[in-house]
Amino acid sequence: MTKISFYTLGCRLNQSETASIRHAFKENGYQVVDFNEPCDIVVINTCTVTGASDANCRYLVRRINRLNPQARIALIGCQAQLQESQLAKLPGVSWVIGNARKMDLVSVLNENPCPKNPQVITPVIKRGPFSLIKRGLSPKRGLSPFDDKHTRANIKVQDGCDFFCSFCEVPYARGRARSRVFEDILDDAKSLLASGHQELVLTGINVGTYAYEGKTFIDIIKALDELDGLKRLRISSIEPTTISKELFSFMKNGHKLCRYLHVPLQSGCDEILLKMKRRYSVAEFKNFVHEAISQVPEIVIGTDVMTGFPGETDEHFNQTLHLLNDLPIRYFHVFSYSPRHRARSRLLKPLDSKVVSKRSQILRDLSNQKRRVFHESLIGGIYEVLFEASDKVGWQEGLTDHYVRVRVKTKHDLYNQMARVRLKSVDGLMVLGEQLGGYS
């Protein structure tokens, strides 16, 4: 039996797609092993959102080649789509398969299991006549988004993006926005719930732009909310201009939708937002955050921020710093700008990398400090936690609905259980608590 392992770089959508591909290989007689185990084929689902993501892939390929020189390597996904010739030259690489064909990886590998030279398949991704992702990911083909873990599963609702922010090459790597057939999403959700998952995370590149035969993103949320067995529904990340007011009223009215939103800001300076071709001003972003909190007081909002966009002065950076300090945003992911080959901003002069890393560190420190203050404010409260992992010495770990990572020490096996926990102290980026009473 051919042994195969998988590694995912990048976003939640990539994780969801790797889970589907892994499932397809199992269904087709391959033995899926852990990434660090010796095997015949290693698949890396790549990311190209920053220069660091590109470097991670190259590092992994060299490491695999050193530790397991017999393994044939398949590079799939965004970096494969855009940098095929560079990747095909890396040692041990047998396949470079872009986004248009990666979901067919089983057939590609079965047809050509030992290519003499790297096989490269990276056709341009077209929007297609219906702007839809049709039943191409159906469970019958073994490609529905099954996750091996049985707590939280990602469910893909759309792919691609039409926004073309000036720093981003995702629209080239993943193509223009396409939405999945509404009924397919519901079918996948039912399969995932039947196999024991309790939380579903709606993923995509720009989920708020979902559109299928008059149905929008909120219609997916409403339909999933009615499914038996679903305890929680979460949105992975959503562009601020695509959030409808209805979402807040749905969130506050005690439905299954988690009180949590990850909404990318990127910069707190209007001049930079304009150069980035983002679709909102600082004032609009502020209004959005205040509206969200007035509608759903317990909501947790996190964000992405980018430092060192070309032309970002100390003054521009300080505007971002002050905005993030002042707004009730609980944490942020910080990205250092790096020019992307197809993005329009590549024509602009980059900043000194030392300045960029210093700014990134300042924002990371602020994020950690804000997260800690937020976690401290929760101490003494009682929250429902969905447990998803444990270690050998009895600590068990899970998430609240507003995405706080909680650990408890208990003799009960809480895996995939929802339990009430009193939060007691902060430990780094987690909160420690004690389990109260029963669980379900």
Provide the binding-site residues for ligand SF4, judged by CB under 6 A. Answer: 161, 163-165, 168, 170-171, 205-206, 239
CB closer to ligand SF4 out of 57 and 265: 265
| Of residues 237, 295, 291, the one with CA closest to residue 262 | 237
Using an 8 Å Cβ cutoff, are 19 and 154 in contact? yes
CB closer to ligand SF4 out of 242 and 416: 242
**Smallest gap from residue 203 Cβ to ligand SF4 (A):** 13
CA pair distance 215, 184, nearest whole angstrom: 13
Q: How far apart are the first and last CA of the chain?
A: 39
Sequence-distant (≥ 6) Cβ neighbours of residue 377 within 8 angstroms: none
CA pair distance 92, 90, nearest whole angstrom: 6
**Smallest gap from residue 247 Cβ to ligand SF4 (A):** 18
CB closer to ligand SF4 out of 165 and 386: 165
Return the number of other C-beta atoms located less than 10 Å from residue 402's C-beta. 20
CA pair distance 362, 35, nearest whole angstrom: 34
Residue showing tokens 């299928």? 212
**Smallest gap from residue 186 Cβ to ligand SF4 (A):** 25
**Smallest gap from residue 285 Cβ to ligand SF4 (A):** 14
CB closer to ligand SF4 out of 49 and 109: 49
CB closer to ligand SF4 out of 95 and 335: 335
CB closer to ligand SF4 out of 23 and 156: 156
Number of helices (H), then strands (E), belonging to the chain: the values are 13, 22
CB closer to ligand SF4 out of 122 and 209: 209
**Smallest gap from residue 9 Cβ to ligand SF4 (A):** 16
- Secondary structure of residue 207 in the 3-state scheme: helix
CB closer to ligand SF4 out of 259 and 278: 278
**Smallest gap from residue 164 Cβ to ligand SF4 (A):** 5
The single-letter code of the amino acid at 301 is I
Residue showing tokens 């101490």? 379
CA pair distance 233, 161, nearest whole angstrom: 23
**Smallest gap from residue 205 Cβ to ligand SF4 (A):** 5
User: In angstroms, what CA-CA distances link 52 with 264, 355, 367?
Assistant: 19, 17, 20
| Of residues 77, 50, 56, the one with CA closest to residue 175 | 77
Using an 8 Å Cβ cutoff, are 52 and 43 in contact? no
**Smallest gap from residue 226 Cβ to ligand SF4 (A):** 30
**Smallest gap from residue 188 Cβ to ligand SF4 (A):** 22
CB closer to ligand SF4 out of 271 and 304: 304
C-alpha 432: how far from chain center: 25
Residue showing tokens 């995932």? 192
Cite the DSSP H helix spans in 28-163. Answer: 51-67, 78-82, 84-88, 105-111
**Smallest gap from residue 174 Cβ to ligand SF4 (A):** 8
Residue showing tokens 């966009």? 309
CA pair distance 323, 300, nearest whole angstrom: 17
CB closer to ligand SF4 out of 5 and 336: 336
CB closer to ligand SF4 out of 71 and 165: 165
**Smallest gap from residue 343 Cβ to ligand SF4 (A):** 9
Q: What angle do CA 338, 101, 207 make, to 5 degrees?
A: 60
For CA atoms 81, 43, 48, 153, give the dihedral sign: positive
